[in-house]
């Protein structure tokens, strides 16, 4: 066993718990998409467009913190579904602006409403202070790891 202090041990466990947390969250999201003709990737595109408004692929990539090439694949899939459409971009001829269709807006708003109900249920036994502390700790650890890895925000 390594000789580390308890705080370091807890932080190490917190970091390693992020993978099972994300896998469990993704499984719940995926289950909630049954019957919508959406994939988890498409849902992510719709959520960003719903939350932040019209975006280009590079803007979406920055918000999702994913490489632009991968987000382009996600957007192509979502465009083909009819949940989003593209418009010309007066600022950049080669980078179209993506926008939700009425159908896309309706489906993502319904999905988010269901997900928020689930999140409220998950938090029933947690205090506001505990959730705020957890968020602050995860944010601080994430920021510190990104700086050490040489990433910029």
pLDDT tens-digit map of 42-88: 999 999 999 999 999 999 999 999 999 999 999 999 999 999 999 98
Specify the pLDDT at position 151.
66
Give pLDDT, residue 123.
Answer: 95
Asked if the structure places residue 1 within a domain, the reply is no
* Residues of the domain holding 73: 6-149
In contact, 71 and 96? CB cutoff 8 Å: no
**CB neighbour list of residue 36: distance below 8 Å, 6 or more residues apart:** 107, 111
Q: What is the DSSP-derived secondary structure letter of residue 22?
A: H
pLDDT of residue 104: 97
The CATH number covering residue 20 comes to 1.10.10.10
Listed residue (143, 145, 144, 137) closest to 7, CA to CA: 137
pLDDT (0 to 100) of residue 31: 94
- 95 in a domain, yes or no? yes
Whether 97 maps to a domain, the answer reads yes
- Determine the Cα–Cα distance for residues 100 and 53; give it in Å rounded to an integer: 8
Instruction: Record the pTM.
Output: 0.85
| pLDDT tens for each residue of 85-101 | 999 888 877 889 999 99
CA distance 121 to 116: 9
111 within a domain of the structure (yes/no): yes
Overall domain count for the chain = 1
Q: What are phi and psi of 95, to 5 degrees?
A: -120, 90
């Amino acid at each position: 066993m390594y000789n580390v202090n308890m705080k370091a041990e807890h932080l190490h466990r917190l970091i390693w718990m992020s993978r099972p947390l994300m896998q469990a969250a993704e499984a719940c999201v995926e289950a909630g998409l049954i019957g919508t003709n959406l994939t988890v990737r498409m849902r992510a595109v719709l959520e960003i467009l719903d939350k932040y408004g019209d975006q280009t692929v590079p803007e979406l990539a920055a918000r999702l913190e994913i490489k632009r090439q991968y987000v382009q694949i996600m957007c192509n899939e979502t465009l083909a579904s009819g949940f989003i459409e593209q418009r010309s971009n007066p600022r950049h001829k080669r980078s179209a602006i993506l926008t939700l269709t009425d159908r896309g807006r309706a489906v993502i708003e319904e999905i988010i409403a269901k997900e928020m109900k689930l999140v409220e249920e998950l938090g029933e036994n947690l205090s506001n202070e505990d959730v705020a502390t957890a968020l602050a700790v995860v944010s601080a650890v994430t920021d510190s790891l990104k700086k050490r890895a040489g990433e910029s925000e």
